[in-house]
Copies of this chain bind each other. A is one copy, B any other.
Amino acid sequence: MDTRSIQEIDFIKRNGLLPVIVQDKNTKDILMLAYANREALDYTVKTGNAYFWSNSRSKLWMKGEESGNTQKVTEILVDCDSDALLYLVDSKAPACHTGNRSCFHNLLERNKLR
């Protein structure tokens, strides 16, 4: 495992907003995908809670600020070209606003893959 500093993260390439995968650190289930700007990442590092940037509301948000289903972030991983993030979280709550554990609860139809 190598390391990266926050300064190395390439927010510029993607107009300031990077995709963040949220994965359960225990089960390794993928819970959701959201977006973070530099401010959201700073807040996440500072508080240990998952913060994101909401495109639709144009505001910083802490996951669970309304639902109470916060996500404790134990590690943050950065991909090879520093433009995608992975939050490993310790959370047993539903990640999805639908009440599902994961936002990825839909199987693509016509999914006859070889």
Number of copies: 2
Tell me the count of chain A residues lying within 8 A, CB to CB, of chain B: 50
Give the complex CA separation of A4 and B98 in angstroms.
Answer: 15
Give the complex CA separation of A95 and B55 in angstroms.
Answer: 29
Are A108 and B77 closer than 8 Å at their CB atoms? yes
- List 14 A-B pairs, Cβ < 8 Å: A1-B105, A3-B109, A6-B109, A19-B19, A28-B28, A30-B30, A33-B79, A45-B110, A76-B113, A78-B108, A79-B103, A80-B98, A80-B100, A82-B106
Which 6 A-B residue pairings sit nearest by Cβ, starting from the closest?
A48-B114, A28-B28, A76-B108, A48-B113, A33-B84, A78-B106
On A, residues with C-beta under 8 Å from B are: 1-6, 9, 19, 21, 23, 27-30, 32-33, 44-45, 47-48, 72-82, 84-86, 96-98, 100, 103-114
